[in-house]
């Protein structure tokens, strides 16, 4: 797992503090070349991992990297799935069966069973349908390096809330078997997720959660997170370290650096100056998060 990861929120108009900034960013990155230009800067500044959602526009981004592999010989993708808005919009527009038809291969016997009204058969093969949905999401990344594949927090935390613990096992086993990748989990409830992963026997899991000085979106509070990071057996990735712009970069990264077991930091930015500044601050203040791969 690489140490410094570049995220994609800015490309798709996601900003948890400012709707106006989110709107302006979304407008700017309607053009694919604008996204590619930023990723070129990321590569030039020495960052080698793009941690990205499976938003539909990522299809074109992935195609660019497939067509120009010689320009990015060591670039990796950490897919984060599912992109919940994509599924929600599809259900709204096409209905449940129509949405499934868009995301599951029509040749699948599991999908055929659903079309024939065999809902009980579909329910009896949740694992098989989940695997097909994962494969559908991963299709855009074919031919690219994807050593870690993440379950997005909207599903991670939904599974936690529903008590469907086996979903985490299904995800981890499938990405390992089919893609030779490690499973990662993004969550807004780090304490609860680690308890469940321990219960399932998923050893030393990769978990990405908010870690920041003001406790922004840290379920359970700063003190509990600090204790968990210091004492629990997992590989923590810190996200939202700037608390969506509420913190200055140096004070934000100084705080993360004090949590010495944090292995990686993911951040998003849209200008060379901010990308370079954040990368240099991480190198300076957080040597355990320097951009070198672990063994």
Rounded to whole angstroms, the Cα distance separating 275 from 245 reads 14
Rounded to whole angstroms, the Cα distance separating 292 from 2 reads 6
13 pLDDT above the threshold of 70:
no
What confidence tens digit (pLDDT) does each residue in 230-285 have? Answer: 999 999 999 999 998 889 999 999 999 999 999 999 999 999 999 999 999 999 99
What confidence tens digit (pLDDT) does each residue in 40-76 have? Answer: 999 999 999 999 999 989 999 999 999 999 999 999 9
Residues 6+ apart with CB under 8 A from 163: none
286 pLDDT band, cuts 50/70/90, is confident
Distances (CA, A) of 138 to 65, 77, 224: 15, 11, 35
| Residue 175, H or E segment | helix 166-179
83 pLDDT band, cuts 50/70/90, is confident
- What count of other Cβ atoms lies within 10 Å of the Cβ of residue 166? 13
What confidence tens digit (pLDDT) does each residue in 88-109 have? Answer: 666 667 676 666 666 665 555 5
22 pLDDT band, cuts 50/70/90, is low
Rounded to whole angstroms, the Cα distance separating 239 from 254 reads 14
Residue 289 confidence (pLDDT): 66
Q: Percentage of the chain with pLDDT > 70?
A: 79
List strand residue ranges (DSSP E) for the chain, in order.
4-6, 49-53, 76-81, 148-151, 182-187, 206-210, 235-239, 264-267
Rounded to whole angstroms, the Cα distance separating 208 from 22 reads 22
Find the mean pLDDT for residues 131-156: 94
Residue 105 confidence (pLDDT): 59
User: Is the separation of the CB atoms in 191 and 221 below 8 Å?
Assistant: no
27 pLDDT above the threshold of 90:
no
Residue 106 confidence (pLDDT): 56
Q: Percentage of the chain with pLDDT > 90?
A: 69
Residue 292 confidence (pLDDT): 46
Q: Structural domains in the chain?
A: 4-84+147-289 (3.20.20.100)
For the chain, counts of helices (H) and of strands (E): 13, 8
């Amino acid at each position: 797992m690489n140490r410094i990861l570049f995220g994609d929120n800015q490309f798709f108009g996601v900003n948890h503090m400012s709707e106006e900034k989110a709107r302006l960013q979304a407008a700017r990155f309607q053009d694919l070349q604008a996204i590619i230009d930023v990723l070129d800067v990321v590569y030039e500044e020495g960052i080698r991992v793009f941690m990205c959602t499976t938003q539909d526009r990522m299809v074109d981004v992935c195609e660019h990297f497939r067509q120009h592999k010689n320009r990015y010989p060591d670039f990796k993708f950490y897919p984060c799935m599912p992109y919940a808005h994509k599924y929600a919009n599809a259900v709204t527009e096409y209905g449940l069966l129509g949405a499934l038809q868009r995301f599951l291969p029509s040749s699948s016997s599991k999908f055929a069973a659903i079309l024939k009204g065999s809902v009980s058969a579909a329910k009896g093969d949740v694992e098989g349908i989940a695997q097909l949905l994962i494969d559908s999401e991963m299709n855009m990344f074919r031919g690219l390096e994807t050593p870690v594949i993440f379950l997005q927090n909207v599903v991670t935390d939904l599974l936690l809330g529903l008590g469907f613990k086996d979903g985490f096992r299904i995800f981890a086993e499938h990405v390992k078997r089919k893609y030779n990748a490690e499973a990662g989990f993004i969550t807004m409830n780090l304490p609860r997720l680690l308890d469940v992963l321990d219960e399932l026997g998923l050893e030393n899991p990769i978990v990405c959660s908010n870690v920041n000085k003001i406790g922004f979106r840290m379920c359970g509070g700063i003190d509990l997170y600090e204790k968990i990071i210091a004492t629990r057996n997992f590989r923590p990735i810190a996200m939202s370290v700037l608390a969506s712009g509420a913190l200055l970069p140096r004070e934000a990264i100084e705080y993360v650096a004090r949590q010495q077991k944090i292995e990686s930091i993911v951040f998003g930015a849209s200008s060379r100056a901010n990308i370079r500044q954040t990368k240099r601050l991480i190198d300076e203040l957080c040597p355990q998060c320097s951009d070198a791969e672990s063994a």
